[in-house]
Structure 1
Amino acid sequence: MTDTAPKPSYEPITRQRTFEIIADRIRESLISQELRPGDKLPSERILAEQFNVSRPAVREAYRVLEMAGILQMKKGVKGGAFITQGNQQLLVDNMSDLLRVGNISLESMIEARIWIEQVVVRVVCERASPEDIDRLEENVVQAERSFLAHDYEAKTRLNIEFHNLMAEATGNPVLVMIMRSLTDVFMFFARRLGPESTRSTFESRQRLLMHLRNGNVEEAIAETTQNLLSVQDLYASMAEELRLASGRDEKSSN
């Protein structure tokens, strides 16, 4: 009897390359807290002896960890490989690159941002101190001053920083990192599209601050969500106008 059932296809099992094993061991030392930010790693020669590997393998492991933002390579007499505090900009650059090449859509990014903001607002209602709310209010005041002075670029920067202040008010460093990564990406697109000159965000922010002070969780979430959707529509309209203007310029040049 012939077995006609489809047979699975397996990829060959490959061994990790030496430099990958070295990099993984260093990562494990971070997890176990044998290594901490600011610590200096042994020289290539010493680490090669400890691992019983070649110096190029250690050099490649250091290079991989440097690209990942885990190590900082310093030159000079007191130089060497040092554990960093972490480089959040790598995450921002990665998300920006994925957006540029189309692996992540702007719509998906905006949707994720709205969900994360909803979590942040809920936590802020529970944890924020009066000083946290005061910082948020001062941000709104400064942004409105910039608007009245027709400094729309500063206004946009302050409006985006408001979201980072919200994340800081949660007291959760992971939410702070995620929020700052998202706002940095959106700041990149805001600069490309150009500053917008509306003041509707200020009215929304005042309502949000009132809800935060009173601990009105659902009202605060609804206000934040509606504002983000309005900003999304505004920037989508600006992007379309920019695209049409670019098309007209191209035709006139021909």
Structure 2
Amino acid sequence: MATIHTHALFMPAKSGRSSEDVALQIEAAILAGKILPGESLPSEREMQHQFQVSRGAVREALRALKEKGMLDIRKGAKGGAFVKEVEVSNVSASLALFLKQHPIAPEQLIEFRENLDRTVTMLAIARSSKGDREKLLDGAHKLQDAAEEPDLDMEMLGEMDRELNLLLGRMSHNPIFEWVMGALQQGFSSHDYALYEDPDFRRQTVDNWVETARQIAAGEPLLALSSISNHYVLLRRCVERRAGDAGAAETVRGTSPDQ
């Protein structure tokens, strides 16, 4: 593994929060492509000299970058801090965390998801293999069967729905769509969970999934897009009903839902 020469990259760290500044400088160099995946950073002693900080500050910075999935810390004679290839799971997890920490209005998220699904569906029809299309349709039928079981397993339904969406994202053969789809599917971020909690909406939702998958498998873009639109009509109705029910409950308790 190559060791990057960083004399021109790093500057003495700012006093006060030196470990944070060290981490930020290393992260900036990685994101700018100045330190490539597989390359190792200088030794802790060298970085201590370059950043003009304590050994503890260097180690704290490296530990923080390891937790972010940017570095691999190895021990032994050939050990050191190596830049990692960023994995899809890390990207999706970061975006999912951002969405959870920055609440977005349901309509805004639904609007984004609908447009994302329409684009992904068109790409899936154009690029996916026959095997993947058949797998999507088979998964939709299994979801439909699971939704009709007398003992409903809501967690399993949620997982099956997520897997279908992730498969659809992979069928686009565009890793960016796959990353974003993965992030949105973590924790039902698009409010789809509401559809599965209501018996009437649940039945319509799984039937719509089957119809969407059938049209994708048949290579019918217009009919597939029509099914996508129907899904989001259902979702908007469901979210509006839940909001109305919540407002009515607050009124009964003598509290305005806006307070």
Q: TM-score, normalized by length of structure 2?
A: 0.71
Q: Give 1:176 deviation, angstroms.
A: 0.6
CA distance in 2, matches of 1:133, 1:229: 24
Please state if 1:155 is matched with 2:157: yes
Q: Kindly indicate whether residue 203 of structure 2 is the aligned counterpart of residue 202 of structure 1.
A: no
Between 114-123 and 228-237, report the one with greater CA deviation.
Answer: 228-237
Alignment correspondent of 2:9 = none
* Counterpart amino acid of residue 235 in structure 2: V
Are 1:233 and 2:237 an aligned pair? yes
Instruction: Tell me which amino acid in the other structure corresponds to 1:200.
Output: Q
Contact 1:133 1:209 in 2 (8 A): yes
Please name the residue that 2:110 is paired with: 110
Please say which of residues 226-235 and 163-172 is displaced more in the overlay: 226-235
User: 1:44 — aligned with what?
Assistant: 44
Q: Is the 8 A contact 1:163 1:183 kept in 2?
A: yes
Counterparts of 1:20 and 1:221 in 2: how far apart (Å)? 48
Partners of 2:132 and 2:153 lie apart in 1 by 25
Mean CA deviation greater in 234-243 or 207-216: 234-243
Contact map agreement 1:152 1:195 (CA 8 A) in 2: no
Q: Deviations over 1:109-167 (max 9, x none)?
A: 11111111111011011101111112211211221221121425122332233221100
- State how far apart, in whole Å, the 2-side matches of 1:181 and 1:21 are: 29
Q: What amino acid maps onto 2:53 in structure 1?
A: S
Matches within 5 A, 1:1-254: 17=14, 20=21, 23-29=24-30, 31-32=32-33, 34-36=35-37, 41-49=41-49, 51-55=50-54, 57-59=57-59, 61-62=61-62, 65-66=65-66, 68-71=68-71, 81=81, 83-84=83-84, 85-86=86-87, 87=90, 88-99=92-103, 104-150=104-150, 151-153=152-154, 154-187=156-189, 189=191, 195-197=197-199, 198-242=202-246, 244-245=248-249
Residues 13 and 52 in structure 2, CA contact (< 8 A), matched pair in contact too: no
Alpha carbons 1:114, 1:228 under 8 Å: kept:
yes
Deviations 1:9-47 (A, max 9, x none): xxxxxx98475466344543465485326x664553332
Q: Distance in 1 between matches of 2:76 and 2:239?
A: 48
| CA distance 1:247–1:41, change in 2 (3 Å) | farther
Provide the rounded CA distance (Å) in 2 between the counterparts of 1:190 and 1:210.
20
Aligned-residue offset at 1:65: 3.2
Amino acid at match of 2:233: L
Counterpart contact for 1:23–1:62, Cα < 8 Å: no
Q: What is the number of equivalent residue pairs in this alignment?
A: 231
The alignment-based identity, stated in percent, is 21
Residues of 1 paired with 2:207 and 2:196: CA distance?
Answer: 22
- Seen in structure 2, the aligned counterparts of structure 1 residues 89 and 225 have a Cα distance that, compared at 3 Å, is same
CA deviation string 1:186-215 (max 9, x = no partner): 258556897232211233223322322332
Paired residue secondary structure (1:171): coil
Distance (Å, rounded) in 1 between the aligned partners of 2:83 and 2:119:
32
1:34 and 1:52, CA in 2 relative to 1: closer, same or farther beyond 3 A? Answer: closer
Runs of 4+ in 1 over 6 A off after TM superposition: 73-80
Shift of 1:218: 2.7
Do the aligned partners of 2:134 and 2:217 also contact (CA within 8 Å) in 1?
no
Task: Note if contact 1:92-1:182 (Cα within 8 Å) is conserved in structure 2.
Answer: yes
Structure 2: tracts of 5 or more residues without a match: 1-11
Whole-angstrom distance in 1 between the partners of 2:194 and 2:229: 24
TM-score (norm 1): 0.72
The 3 A distance-change label for structure 1 pair 94 and 74 is: farther
Are 2:118 and 2:228, in contact at CA under 8 Å, matched by a contact in 1? yes
Counting helix residues as a fraction of each chain, which structure ranks higher?
1
CA separation in 1, counterparts of 2:241 and 2:161?
19
